[in-house]
Structure 1
Amino acid sequence: MVSIDNEAALASTPARETALACLRAGIDAARPDRVVADSVRLDGDVLHVGDATYDLAGVDRIVVVGGGKAADGVATALEGVLGDRIDAGVVVTPDPGDGDRIDRVRGHHPVPSAEGVAGTDRIRDIVSDAGERTLVLAVITGGGSALLPAPAEGISLDDLRRTTDALLDAGAEIGDLNAVRKHLSTLKGGGLAQLAAPATVASLVFSDVVGNDLSVIASGPAAPDDSTYEEAFSVLDRYGVDPPAAVRDRLDRGAAGDLPETPGPDDPVFERVANHVLADAFTAIDAARSVARDRGYGTCVLSSSVRGEAREAALTHVAVAEEVTATGNPVDPPAVVLSGGETTATVRGDGVGGPNGEFALSAAVELPDSATLACVDTDGRDGSSDFAGAVVDGDTVSDTDAARRALADSDAFGHLGDRDAAVTTGPTGTNVNDLRVLVVE
């Protein structure tokens, strides 16, 4: 079970205690051990993955490859299900543990590292050797885009890092960011499926993407890709990013038709590929809703797809709190309003911030006295900070001018950290985007 540091101090009111309990339940519900136990089982020679079945009697080898923030936990859970039927495996993850059949390799997020490149090279070797009677279990979880770097010909790791950094600082949404990264990599944008063909590929997906777009989650290693070199170029222009010369040259050649595009929906490499979304934002929201109901609150799911600038989306949640208090719409108080998704925070200064920190502080400036808001990134790390998120109410901000200055300097946690508001969990071992709990008494 995930633990929240200093929870006794954070839970200083019944509403705060409820909000934190909902957060904890949501994160726990998306942890790999629970998700895999509910979704994957072995019955004789038949492997069940979600609603699909795989006859292992026709399989000579089972290999497990992939990466992301939940990859270590998924690998451990798969070893528990399949044991020594796993012949080989490598996953790349930020906090690797020890495995019996699947090697764990450290990588880094959000900016790719040399260690991630080395781990991805090992994955490429394994899947390149796969044959028609091989079952590839591809572990695809949030964070995989950065953790599974495989620079394309002519692109260096430094080129990837500089381009990724610039897009993150510009507030690029994940789909836009990945459209670029897929065209600078050999594994993303269906590249894993392409390398593994003609093997059977079953992807076990933990979605950190609004709408569960398989081509965007971890940049879609086993999913068809509709994005193009030309689109990647337009993303850079839209966010005002001037990439390294090697990146611009590759995108130029691709847009001119001198390089092959990533495999699209009609490509035969996907004939034996299936992607199974085992957990997503609603997994966490549903568990949080159950806790709220058990505590006697009316509940409402505002959306599992909230996106855009965090400080702007926060004001919408403030408006909902005001409406619940004033009119009982969309739910009578006492109420818990839930949302998920992924907001962004454009970097404007050199403070310690992140989307959930900005969301919480922006909301705290205007929250009515009846409302408490808690929000976290379910992976335990919000933006570039070491915090997961924050819990705030009408008493959190006493100096609105100072709070607004902190927001202007991208220093939300600098302001919240001194006010018993920052939530710290450490790495949670999962990643299904943001979770927000709005309690209205």
Structure 2
Amino acid sequence: MIPPDAFASHTLSRHPEGERVQRILAAAIRSAEAGAAVRRFLRRESDSLFVDGREYPLDETRRVRVLGLGKASPAMTLPLADLLPDRATRGLLIPKATPVHAPDGFDLQPGGHPVPSEASLRAGQKARGLVRGLDENDLLICLISGGGSALMTLPHAGVSLPDLRALTSDLLACGARVDEVNILRRHLDSLKGGGLARLASPARVVSLILSDVVGNPLEAVASGPTAPDPSTREDARRVLEKYGLAEKVPAPILEALETNPETPKPGDALFERVQNVIVGSNARAAESACSQARSEGFHPVWLGDDWQGEARDVGRELSRILKSASEPRPFCLVSGGETTVAVRGRGRGGRNQELALAAVRELAGRRDLLLVSLATDGEDGVTDAAGAVVSGETLARGLDLGLVPESFLAENDSYSYFSALDDLLKPGPTGTNVNDLMFCFGL
């Protein structure tokens, strides 16, 4: 469990309301803890496993297979292992490449992230081996969380891993939204867009899903390995055209988008034996943050979980909302979503740090205001920070050190800016992943 002081920074450690703010941040992460989220939807009664009220008689089940996929999969797997100690359960755990402990009977195969790697390909091959040959008397339980799209891959025939890596890198560099990237992934990868469920058929399939995607569409989390896919190959081609990549991607990718079979769609009989359950989301974490804010004496306001677009634009917009807010003080405006960063420079950072950096000049001189932007998995971009804190004094402190925020924005170097001010948030990996949360405080 992440303690409040894990969110210490120069500003929060010295601000009179800093401890209360840290408790609000910790409450949001605590509520999204992956193991607890799964546990709320599972129960065991004698020889039956109940998933969100639906019964699965274990005495009528020949084999139980478990696939844990995503950044939060280690924590998600533990409650299930605790409920099935008497079953000869075989499983595969595909987390991000960090030291984790796999339950007995589980194979451990970390994958690559945010771009699929050779390890991701091995994970995909092992996942195929885990589910291949299952029949109608078997049960496959999947524990799915964010990051799974890159951590596990099994490209369609003709599409190479280097092709897929290059496409993913190009899309991310263009600032493509995660849902757009995943449309292409679903049509180029045999395990995505319902592909895993199709491979496991006719077995019964249960997926417990910790959502890191705006709006919680089932097909978007880890690219929906057990979910119907409403998108088409034509939609995938349109994403390439939107970002000017149609003429740049390797020829095998364009060929695959012309010749591959369509992904299974909503209404397909395949999904009559599939149960997909959202166990945790951005909105649920925000609800807990608002509850904690209320207990701390703040007036909480929920601004929604659908904040998307360029991180710097969202940072400026939230700053304007914060400055003009008329709520009773002290107040806490909570919003969620996932922004993007179109990479223009060679700096280091992440979308939450860039969002915060764009707010620095907007909030200058307003000592009564604070803004915090936070990745709930504890990892913002390819950095060791989850996000950053901005106050009305941040600009002046930076200028005293010769730091001009616009110069760092031009280089996408938000990490260096906030590192120099000791205002990065570094709670470490949280074991969960429900997108980003932004907090605006009026004090």
Q: TM-score interval w.r.t. the shorter chain?
A: over 0.9
| Aligned-residue offset at 1:245 | 2.3
Name the counterpart of 2:33. 31
Q: Does 1:403 align with 2:405?
A: yes
Whether the 8 Å CA contact 1:15–1:439 is kept in 2: the answer is no
Q: Tell me how far apart the structure 2 counterparts of residues 219 and 336 of structure 1 sit (CA, whole Å).
A: 33
Contact 2:9 2:422 in 1 (8 A): no
Match of 2:66 among 61, 64, 67: 64
Following the alignment from structure 2 to structure 1, what is the Cα–Cα distance between the partners of residues 334 and 372? 10
- Residue type matched to 2:333 in 1? V
Q: Report which stretch shifted further, 265-274 or 391-400.
A: 391-400
- What letter matches 2:362 in structure 1? E
Q: Distance in 2 between matches of 1:108 and 1:18?
A: 37
**If the length of structure 2 is used for normalisation, what is the TM-score?**
0.93
Listed as ranges, the matches of 1:266-281 within 5 Å are: 266-281=267-282
Distance in 1, Cα, partners of 2:22 & 2:305: 18
Matched, 1:339 2:335: yes
Give the corresponding residue for 1:156: 160
Report % sequence identity. Answer: 39
The answer to whether the 8 A contact 2:337-2:435 is kept is yes
Alignment of 1:168-317 (within 5 A): 168-241=172-245, 242-251=248-257, 253-254=258-259, 259-317=260-318
Match of 2:15 in 1: 13
Is contact 1:66–1:138 with CA below 8 Å preserved after alignment? yes
- In 2, Cα distance between equivalents of 1:427 and 1:217: 19
Letter in 1 for 2:323: E
Deviations 1:71-90 (A, max 9, x none): 11111221112223252110
2:370 aligned residue: 372
Deviation at 1:187, TM superposition (A): 0.1
- Match of 2:93? 91
How far the C-alpha of 1:8 sits from its partner, in A, is: 6.2
Number of the residue aligned with 1:2: 2
Assess, with a 3 A threshold, how the Cα gap between structure 1 residues 143 and 319 changes in structure 2: closer, same or farther: same
Q: Which amino acid aligns with 1:436?
A: M
Task: Indicate how the Cα distance of structure 1 residues 86 and 215 shifts in structure 2: closer, same or farther if over 3 A, else same.
Answer: farther
Is the CA contact 2:372–2:387 (under 8 Å) kept in the aligned structure 1? yes
Cα displacement (A) at 1:230: 1.7
AA at the equivalent of 1:181: R
Q: What per-residue deviation string (whole Å, max 9, x for no partner) do you get for residues 393-433 of structure 1?
A: 11112257810111111111111111121111222111100
Q: Give the TM-score of the pair, scaled to structure 1.
A: 0.94
Q: CA deviation at 1:43?
A: 1.5
1:359–1:156 CA distance, 2 compared to 1 (3 A)? same
1:111-130 to 2 correspondence within 5 Å? 111-130=115-134
Correspondence for 1:421: 423
2:312 alignment partner AA = R
Q: Is the CA contact (8 Å cut-off) linking 1:32 and 1:77 kept in structure 2?
A: no
Does the residue aligned with 1:84 lie in a helix, a strand or coil? coil
Whether the aligned pair in 1 keeps the contact of 2:332 and 2:441 (CA below 8 Å) is: yes
Residue pair 2:9, 2:424 contacting (<8 A) in 1 also: no
CA pair 436-6 structure 1, distance change in 2 beyond 3 A:
closer
Q: Which residue of 1 aligns with 2:105?
A: 101
Paired residues of 1:79 and 1:86 also in contact (CA < 8 A):
no
Compute the displacement of 1:340 (Å). 0.9
SS state at 2:17 partner: helix
Q: Is the 8 A contact 1:354 1:412 kept in 2?
A: yes
| SS of match in other structure, 2:254 | helix
Number of equivalences: 431
Counterpart amino acid of 1:88? R
Matched AA of 2:348: V
CA distance in 1, matches of 2:249, 2:93: 29
What is the aligned partner in structure 1 of residue 352 from structure 2? 356
Distance 1:439 1:86, change over 3 A: farther
Q: Which runs of 5+ in 1 are unaligned?
A: none
| Aligned counterparts of 1:37 and 1:316: Cα–Cα separation in 2 | 37
* Corresponding residue for residue 148 of structure 2: 144
Q: Aligned equivalents of 2:230 and 2:122: distance in 1?
A: 28
- With 275-284 and 377-386 compared, the bigger mean Cα shift is at 377-386
| Range 102-111 or range 49-58, more displaced | 49-58
Query: 8 Å contact 1:144–1:218 — kept in the other structure?
Result: yes
State yes or no: 1:73 paired with 2:71. no
Could you list the per-position Cα deviations for residues 41-80 of structure 1 after superposition, in whole angstroms to 9, with x for gaps in the alignment? Answer: 2111222222433222321111101411011111122111
**Once the two structures are superposed, what CA deviation does each residue of 1:324-371 show, in whole Å capped at 9, x if it has no partner?**
2xxx2xx31111111111111111111012110011111122123311
Answer yes or no: is the 8 Å Cα contact 1:83–1:101 preserved in 2: no
What's the CA shift for 1:25? 1.5
* DSSP-derived class of the 1:83 partner: coil
Q: 1:6 to 1:320 in 2, by over 3 A?
A: closer
CA contact (8 A) 2:112 2:151 kept: yes
Q: Report the Cα offset of residue 100 of structure 1.
A: 1.3
Equivalent-residue separation in structure 1 for 2:50 and 2:389 (angstroms) = 40
